Amino acid sequence: MNLIRKFAAGAAAAALSLTLAGASLAADITGAGSSFINPVLSKWAEGYKAATSNTVNYQSVGSGAGIKQLLAKTVVFGATDKPMSDGDLEKNGLAQFPMISGGIVVTYNIDGVKPGELVFDGETLSGIFLGKITKWDDAALKKLNPDAKLPSTPISVVYRADGSGTTFNFTNYLSKVSPEWKEKVGSDTAVQWPVGFGAKGSEGVSTTVAQTAGSISYVEYSYVVANKMGFSKMKNAAGKVVEPKLDTFTAAAANADWKGAKNFNVIVTNQPGDNTWPIAASTWVVLYKQPADKALNDGALDFFKWAYEKGQKDATSLNYVAIPDSVSKVVMESWKKDFGTK
C-alpha cells in the first residue's frame, strides 16, 4: 500500500512538474522588433492568452534591434518592417513571412491647423526632410494648401533615432519620388538625416511631436489615432489626394504579390491606383528554421496561426490590413518545409 501511495505521489509530482514546465514554456515565447506591428500584436497576445492560457511577450524596440536580438538568440522571433534579404536569411538559417500591412502617415504639430487639414506630395515632403523647405508658410506648402492658415514659423523635423522599419519604408517612399533624396540619403532602417533631431521608437516620436510646436515626423497610423495627433492627407502616385484610412491602406496592400515573391519579400510604397495610400508598409515575422528549442518555435507558430485565423477582426479594428486567407494558407504551407510543422 505504501508503495502504491509513493507511486501515486510520484506520478502527481511528475504531472505537476510537467504542468509547471508547460506554463514556463508558454511564458518563454518572446519576440522583439517592429513598433509598427506592436498595437495589433499586443491585441492578438491578449486574445491568444484568453483562448489558450499561453503568453506571448513582445518588446517594441524597433525592427533593427529586434533582428539583433533574434540573431543573438535572446528571443524566439523577430518582427521587422524591412524584409531580410535572401542572403541574410540563408546565411543565418532563418525564414520570414508577412503578418500585417498598414499605413505610415506624416504627423505634425502646428498651432491652428487641425488633423487632416494639410496635404503633402512626395516632392514637398522630401524638400522638408532634406532641409530645403524650412518654414510652414513656404510657397510649396501654400500651393498645396491654399485654404490652410500656415504660420511663418520654423519647421522642426523629428525622425526615428533607432533602427526602424518605419524609417525604411518612409525613406523608401522618398527615394521613389525624389531622385535627390535617393542620391543624397537613400533608404534603410537608419540613415544620415540632413536635418532634425531623433526620438526613440514610435512612442518617442509621438511624444516628441506632441510636445514640440512646429514639428513634423512620420509614424504608424495607429499611433496617430491613439494619441489624437495631427496627420496629413497625401497626393499619391496617380495624382489623387487620399486620406489615411483602412480603404486606402488596403488598396496599397492589394498590389502585394505574396504568393509569387521569394521569401515573401514585397515592398508596397508608392503603388499605383487612384485610392492607394502611398506610404504603406508590411511587417514580417522571422524565426530560426532549426532552433535550439523547437518547442518554443512551435509555440510561436501556433500563436501566429491563431492570429491569421482569429485575429483579422482585431487587425481591422486598429486600421491594419490583415493578410488574406489565401495568402496565410500559402504561408502556413511553407512552414512545413521551413520549420517541419505538420
Residues 96 and 223 in one domain: no
Instruction: Please indicate, yes or no, if residue 115 is contained in any of the structural domains.
Output: yes
Phi, psi of 242 (to 5 degrees): -125, 155
Please report the pLDDT score of residue 32 as a whole number: 98
Q: Are 314 and 47 in contact (CB under 8 A)?
A: yes
Q: Is the pLDDT of residue 100 over 60?
A: yes
Q: Are 286 and 169 within one domain?
A: no
The pLDDT assigned to 255 comes to 87
Question: Is 277 a member of any domain?
Answer: no
Last residue of a domain, one of 236, 264, 292: 264
Q: Is 278 in contact with 269 (CB distance < 8 Å)?
A: yes
Q: Are residues 63 and 109 in the same domain?
A: no
37 and 167 belong to one structural domain? no
Query: What would the pLDDT profile of 176-209 be if each residue is shown by its tens digit?
Result: 999 999 999 999 999 999 999 999 999 999 999 9
Q: What is the pLDDT of residues 127-171, one digit of tens each?
A: 999 999 999 999 999 999 999 999 999 999 999 999 999 999 999
CB burial of 212-233 (b: ≥16 within 10 Å; e: otherwise) equals eebbbbbbbbbbbbeeebbbbb
The dihedral built from the CA positions of residue 308, 314, 317 and 318, taken in this order, carries a sign that is: negative
Q: How far is CA 103 from CA 138, 219, 320, in A?
A: 27, 9, 8
% of the chain residues with pLDDT over 70: 92
Residues 206 and 330 grouped into a single domain: no
Q: Tell me the mean pLDDT in the region 226-251.
A: 96
* CA dist., res. 310 & res. 305, Å (int): 8
41-74: pLDDT as tens digits: 999 999 999 999 999 999 999 999 999 999 999 9
Residue 223 sits in the same domain as residue 315: no
Same-domain pairing of 174 and 55:
no
Tell whether 63 and 32 lie within a shared domain.
Answer: yes
117 with 203, same domain: the answer is: yes
pLDDT, mean of residues 77-93: 97
Q: Which domain holds residue 143?
A: 103-264
pLDDT tens across 268-279, in order? 999 999 999 999
**So what's the pLDDT on residue 229?**
94
Residue 9, pLDDT score: 42
Cα 279 from chain centroid (whole Å) = 12
Tell whether 230 is covered by a domain.
yes
What three-state secondary structure class fits 280? strand
SS3 of residue 36 by DSSP:
coil
Grid coordinates of 39 = 498595437
**End position of a domain, from candidates 216, 238, 264:** 264
The whole-number pLDDT of residue 207 equals 94
Q: Check residue 17 and give its pLDDT.
A: 33
C-alpha pair distances (Å), 75 with each of 25, 60, 171, 300, 341: 13, 12, 28, 11, 20
Q: How many domains does the chain have?
A: 2
The pLDDT score that the predictor gives to residue 28 is: 74
Q: Are residues 150 and 97 in the same domain?
A: no
Residue 302: is its pLDDT beyond 80? yes
Is the CB of residue 98 less than 8 Å from the CB of residue 323? Answer: yes
pLDDT value, residue 119: 98
Query: 217 pairs with which residues across the strands?
Result: 107
Q: Which residue has the higher pLDDT, 337 or 21?
A: 337
In a domain, 276, yes or no: no
> pLDDT-based confidence at 18, cuts 50/70/90?
very low
Average pLDDT value over all residues in the chain? 92
pLDDT of residue 245: 95
What is the pTM assigned to this prediction?
Answer: 0.88
Q: Is residue 4 part of a domain?
A: no
Would you say residue 15 lies in a domain? Answer: no
Please indicate, yes or no, if residue 3 is contained in any of the structural domains: no
Beta strands in the chain (DSSP E): 29-33, 56-60, 77-80, 94-109, 119-120, 156-160, 197-199, 215-220, 230-231, 233-235, 241-242, 280-288, 321-322
CA dist., res. 103 & res. 234, Å (int): 12
The pLDDT assigned to 66 comes to 97
Q: Is residue 211 part of a domain?
A: yes
Tell me what the mean pLDDT of segment 283-301 comes to: 96
Last residue of a domain, one of 264, 297, 312: 264
Q: Give me the mean pLDDT over the 235-249 stretch.
A: 97
Residues 197 and 242 in one domain: yes
Query: What was the pLDDT predicted at 13?
Result: 38
CATH number of the domain bearing residue 88: 3.40.190.10
pLDDT of 148 reads 95
Give the per-residue pLDDT at 342. 84
Higher pLDDT, 28 or 215: 215
The CA-atom distances, in angstroms, between 296 and each of 98, 116, 129, 290 are 20, 44, 42, 11
In this structure, the answer to whether residues 96 and 110 fall within a common structural domain is no
Q: Residue 162's pLDDT is what?
A: 92
